Amino acid sequence: MNYEKKNIFEKIIKKEIKSEIVYQDKKITAFKDINPKAPIHIIIVPNKFIKNMNEITIKHSKIIFHMFYTAVKIAKMKNIDFSGYKLIINCNKDGGQIIPYLHMHLIGGIKLSNFIV
């Protein structure tokens, strides 16, 4: 079995684990973080496994754009597009990446000027 098949994000995408999905389409899945750091803390992942930022190539450009586009769409749905939010992508252990699967944090709902994930 491939490592990514064991990954918690893969299980959320396939709905094998219960999660509060806020958006899903053919390319990405977005769900509420189970340990939120702010009132709004959404995780956005590609449906196809990419380990981290270092694995991105030009062939991933559409999916990366779609992740950012979806983050803006969700920010508007959550009414934080004007007040402000952060998009954070951690890469590898020293960069704060805990789960080895490319993912973006959409954080908002509070003042975030000194906020770090």
Residue 97 CA, chain-centre distance (Å), reads: 12
Q: Identify the active-site residue in 41, 60, 66, 103.
A: 103
For 71, the token pair is 């983050």
Within-domain flag for 115: no
Judge whether 24 lies within some domain: yes
Over residues 63-82, the pLDDT tens digits come to: 999 999 999 999 999 999 99
In a domain, 10, yes or no: yes
The pTM score is: 0.90
CATH classification at residue 29:
3.30.428.10
Which domain does 93 fall in, by range? 3-108
Q: Tell me the pLDDT tens digit for each residue of 7-43.
A: 899 999 999 999 999 999 999 999 999 999 999 999 9
Q: Report d(CA 67, CA 70) in Å as an integer.
A: 5
Element housing 72 (H / E): helix 61-77
41 catalytic? Reply is no
Q: Is residue 78 part of a domain?
A: yes
| Total domains present in the chain | 1
Q: Count of CB atoms within 10 A of residue 43's CB?
A: 21
Cβ–Cβ < 8 Å for 45, 103: yes
Per the domain annotation, does 69 fall within a domain? yes
- Asked if residue 114 belongs to a domain, the reply is no
Whether residue 116 lies inside any domain: the answer is no
Contact in structure between 12 and 21 (CB atoms under 8 Å): yes
